Structure 1
């Protein structure tokens, strides 16, 4: 009886709340600066663009439904790291934890900070060079680190505000494009026309930026145990939520193309949204739209930093990294591990430098380092999907849909996204995937050795 009461107290999110939380987690900043990448990889073919958005949603829905079966049975915190710890092994959890701490979170921090630098240059008419973008982005990164360390409440407030703000341009462009009847604008002077082209099977490379736009879905499975009637409501929320996100993304993508035309977006890249603001709201419209987008992007930087700076401490609390006893200590004043924050800042700074080199010498053919780490994440989830298939075989999971269909479709979705990432740049993507694998192996080996001591 007492246990039942505790369970009921913990289950405080309704189906509607769970669905809106998933939507808020998944919709990020990627959609604003990845639309032109999607068009580039599809050769300006809007139909193929719609297809890759649908494939992205497909991967989310079946992947999240599969992981929910683990979250319902997990006793560990930490999301995917906890699933690896509970259902695979602590050594595997350490390996994946090292990847998230030293590659995944810091590469996202570096990339989204850089994007904030891009939109700042556009907004204020600054010289839009890579050096300027990275310098401003690094400044934002430092600022938001300090905000989250000195006041976790302030960081939380900014997160809530930016979540609401980012929906304004998405829904605005989507709805207004329905009644839009004007001709596509002419290219600005000095901008070279990029025409549509036939890219063959290279359109699969568009799945890398799509994976970035949909990234964050896996976090939503961590709220499973706090949802009322989770066996019924979480699967529903994890179907309804991604479908709504897909709908918002497609309406924005199609709306942007209707108002500007594919060739305008291909030619102007990230600056395309600037023209939409001008068309809708007049001379000052572009500034208004860009300001909203900048706040949205900074909200994502804040969110990634908020989670990332806790990662070294989380690993240290499980004795999965060197000097764990010191890193695990929580500062009573800041309610954070200062060592953890410093480690994460240094790692993010290193990745910002790596990102600069990659962009400077165009090593990823228009892509970026975060896309590859996200693609690697999808590949890692396959291990968990296979575990769910085994649980069905062992009769731990009774439902054929949850134990067979969902994990199989989850694996298919992950493999399609992995192949798409590989096609974007076979040489450097192979190198980067091997690097991510090496980081996992180091984490795996470290815990294995420390366990035997």
Structure 2
């Protein structure tokens, strides 16, 4: 089978677009976020739920805001197309270079590596970086190649993996409604952690929680391949964030109802395995690990699905070198130049990530976090444009034209400030790297035209 020709067929519907947003946002992180949130809130369940709601501002109101642009934009490339339509081609090129050569591949690489970690846990393999990275590299290659070979296979896997990963998250919430047993005792070999009053310290939980919702904008890269895109994408951008928030709250409240906040605080990440054993018996831990792994692979697939289209989108706008060659599709696997560029880029960043982990070049975090934080600067610029379009009466709905972008910018600010405060040294260095990609893209288009 030959490689796909990007932008040839309207092969995606509402559910694939929605599943892409849900599938990328809901990764493995949520499984291990409950104890972290409770630690920040001193075990206060109400404040924990509030943190999830506020943390969702970036995706719920951000996606609602950009749905305005999705309904009126005529350009391809998602975020890049919006900058092209509503700002300038030079700025669109800057954003495109950042997304194509930095944002997409770093997220795919880090999640593929994490998938390798959980594969080792699932099969009781040695906890070695080289083995984890080796397995992660195979996952990375597999999902890029699957999406290069067939857009329909990648789209179907995205829908299936999104549904599968929601089963345990929603299931915990549903079981909690009917759960009548006493909450389990804290294990004797675990030191109990008591509930405390943290004052305003709970606000520190907002940044890491907001990261749990990131990745939603990647779905915009397939908008030109979605059937009836001007109606479908705004609908998907509205439905998906609500599903994600509902799923997160269901899991968080369910965990607290079944185990109790003191148990979760005391056992930490072990609470995830504990609830698996409590509900499913001795095999529960394995079942939970399988769900976590599927969750992560769904993220890798979703990012790959979006990434392989980006070089084509930029080439169609003459924003990259050898544009004519990239948009000219030749029969055969290697003829899909856009996908080959994306895959090569992902492999390069996989090598960079390996070196940063092997030689401890980053004290905390990973290379994807910096790109995520930097990306919210661009989103904020688009939110400003939405408000400008409302002022110009192009957008007439006050909620989607003013309220949503304002709240989305607040959510974005939380992520930006939280990201820099968590790792200021690494953030500063990689911020410059992100900026250099943008400047290169900007100058390339300026000089060419």
TM-score of the two chains, using structure 2 as the length reference: 0.83
Is 2:396 the partner of 1:401? no
Q: Deviations over 1:145-182 (max 9, x none)?
A: 33333344433332232122111111122222331634
Q: Which residue of 1 aligns with 2:330?
A: 331
Please tell me whether the aligned partners of residues 382 and 411 of structure 1 are also in contact (alpha carbons under 8 angstroms). yes
1:19-60 CA distances to partner (integer Å, 9 max, x unpaired)? 777655644444235445545666766554433311222222
Cα deviation digits, residues 92-113 of structure 1 (max 9, x gap):
1111111111111111111111
Deviates most, 101-110 or 179-188:
179-188
Which of 380, 388, 391 aligns to 1:390? It is: 388
Shift of 1:223: 5.4
Deviation of 1:75 after TM superposition, in Å, equals 0.7
Shift of 1:195: 8.2
Whole-Å separation in 1 of the counterparts to 2:270 and 2:107: 21
TM-score normalized with structure 1 length? 0.82
What is the SS of the residue equivalent to 2:56? helix
| 1:322–1:234 Cα change, 3 Å | closer
The answer (yes or no) to whether the contact 1:169–1:293 under 8 Å persists in 2 is no
Q: Is the Cα contact below 8 Å between 1:205 and 1:424 reproduced in 2? A: no
In structure 1, C-alpha distance between the alignment counterparts of 2:322 and 2:140, rounded to whole Å: 26
1:438 alignment counterpart: 436
Which stretch shifts more, 201-210 or 305-314?
Answer: 201-210
Q: 1:380, CA displacement in angstroms?
A: 1.1
Consecutive unaligned residues of structure 2, counting only runs of 5 or more, are 1-9
| SS of residue in 1 equivalent to 2:320 | coil
- Checking the alignment, whether the CA contact within 8 Å between 2:72 and 2:230 is kept in structure 1 is no
Aligned length in residues: 436
1:88, distance to aligned residue in structure 2 (A): 0.7
Matched with 1:3 is none
Quickly say closer, same or farther: Cα 1:13–1:347, change in 2 above 3 A. closer
Closer/same/farther in 2, CA of residues 324 and 287 from structure 1, 3 Å limit: same
- Mapped to 1, the partners of 2:259 and 2:122 lie a distance apart of 19
What's the CA shift for 1:374?
Answer: 1.8
2:200 is equivalent to residue 183 of structure 1: no
CA distance in 2, matches of 1:198, 1:277: 30
User: What RMSD over aligned residues (CA atoms) do the two structures have, in Å?
Assistant: 3.6
Report 1:294-333 matches (<5 A).
294-333=293-332
Q: Which position in structure 1 is the counterpart of 2:272? A: 273
Question: Contact 1:320 / 1:446 at 8 angstroms: preserved in 2?
Answer: yes
Aligned counterpart, 1:142: 141
- Aligned partners of 2:328, 2:230: CA distance in 1, in Å? 36
> Aligned runs of 1:26-41 on 2, under 5 Å?
26-35=25-34, 38=37
Alignment of structure 1 residues 61-140 onto 2, 5 Å? 61-140=60-139
CA deviation digits over 1:275-316, x for unaligned, max 9?
322221111222122223222321221221122122222222
Contact persistence 1:202–1:423 (CA under 8 A): no
Task: List per-residue Cα deviations over 1:232-264 (Å, max 9, x = no partner).
Answer: x97776555423321210121232344455576
Distance 2:228 2:397 in 1: 20
1:413-428 equivalence runs, <5 A:
413-428=411-426
Distance 2:415 2:118 in 1: 28
**Matches of 1:347 and 1:205, distance apart in 2:** 34
1:148, 1:306 within 8 Å by CA — same for their partners in 2?
Answer: yes
Question: Distance between the aligned counterparts of 2:13 and 2:331, measured in 1?
Answer: 30
For 1:166 and 1:35, the matched residues in 2 are separated by 17
